[in-house]
Amino acid sequence: AIRYLDANSGSDDEDDSVKLPNEFYELKISCYLNKAACSLKFNEWGDVVQATNVVLEMPEKVLSPTIRAKALYRRGSAKVGMKDEEEAIKDLQEAAKLNPDDPAITKELVVAKQRLANREKAQKKAY
């Protein structure tokens, strides 16, 4: 489904006056967020980042705050898995602003901050 959507989304060289229907974006968002969720379960961090980047690069008008928060949360979780806590914290903080009542975002943000603090502590100890 993703290949079909990518092939039919038009190229970057096309006239911007050609507008795609919202249903197209809804389907594409759903496919890529599902791909990110599956990849997250299998610890395929790069695939999660790639899929969520596709969603986050879509036009602002088709991204609700909830969808944007979901994509940022999944990308932030992947970055925690990649041991890129600084970038994970940025994504998770933005997700928390968009959806402050989501306990999963809050929990992952705490984990990212704790891992960053532990890594910095270990680095100081090493020197």
- The predicted-structure confidence for 85-108, as pLDDT tens digits, reads as follows 999 999 999 999 999 999 999 999
CATH topology of domain 2-126: 1.25.40
Instruction: Convert the pLDDT of each residue in 27-56 to its tens digit.
Output: 999 999 999 999 999 999 999 999 999 999
User: What pLDDT, on the 0 to 100 scale, is given for residue 126?
Assistant: 80
**Among the listed residues 42, 33, 114, 115, the one whose alpha carbon sits nearest the alpha carbon of residue 74:** 33
Residue spans per domain, the chain: 2-126
- Residue 124: what pLDDT? 86
d(CA 97, CA 85): 18
CA angle 37, 39, 41 (to 5 degrees): 70
Give the whole-angstrom CA distance, residue 19 versus residue 9. 10
Question: How distant, in Å, are the alpha carbons of 28, 43, 53, 106, 118 from that of 57?
Answer: 12, 23, 6, 24, 33
